[in-house]
Amino acid sequence: MTSLVTPAPRLENIERPVERNTPTAAPLPREKPARLVSLDAYRGAIMLFMASSGLALPAVAKHFPDSPIWRFLAFNTDHVPWVGCSLWDLIQPSFMFMVGVSMP
């Protein structure tokens, strides 16, 4: 009676590929550039600034009309109606800046 299972080839009989140093070999991958810690800090500050909208700082500032700190916070955490610019108005341009810096 013949066996239906063929024996596995022995490792000594298997040909191994030969390493070749050809000029058409793919270039080695470059190292990833280091992260810009300053850009990460800026992104974090902008994200914190966006999250501060839930604190309703302009509404709190109405209770302290004589305080220059609360006036500053109220102005910079809300949109300027038509003329001028506050920090709040610079959130979207900040993200455009971050994309431009991180592209290279």
Q: What is the per-residue DSSP string for 33-95?
A: PPP-HHHHHHHHHHHHHHHGGGG-HHHHHTT-TT-HHHHHHHHHTS--SSSS--GGGGHHHHH
Instruction: Tell me whether residue 4 is in a domain.
Output: no
Asked, for residue 92, whether it belongs to a domain, the answer is yes
How many domains, in total, are found in the chain? Answer: 1
Q: Cβ(89)–Cβ(47) under 8 Å?
A: no
In angstroms, the CA 87 to CA 46 distance is 10
- What digits encode the pLDDT tens for the residues 44-95? 999 988 888 778 888 899 999 999 999 998 888 888 888 888 888 889 999 9
pLDDT band at 17, cuts 50/70/90?
A: low
pTM: 0.57
Tokens at 59, concatenated: 């509404």
Which of 64, 50, 62, 51 is closest to 92 using CA atoms? Answer: 50
Is residue 46 one of the residues assigned to a domain?
Answer: yes
Task: Please compute the mean of the pLDDT values over residues 22-28 and round it to a whole number.
Answer: 66
On whether the CB atoms of residues 56 and 68 are closer than 8 A, the answer is: no
- SS3 label, residue 98: helix
**AA letter at 39:** L
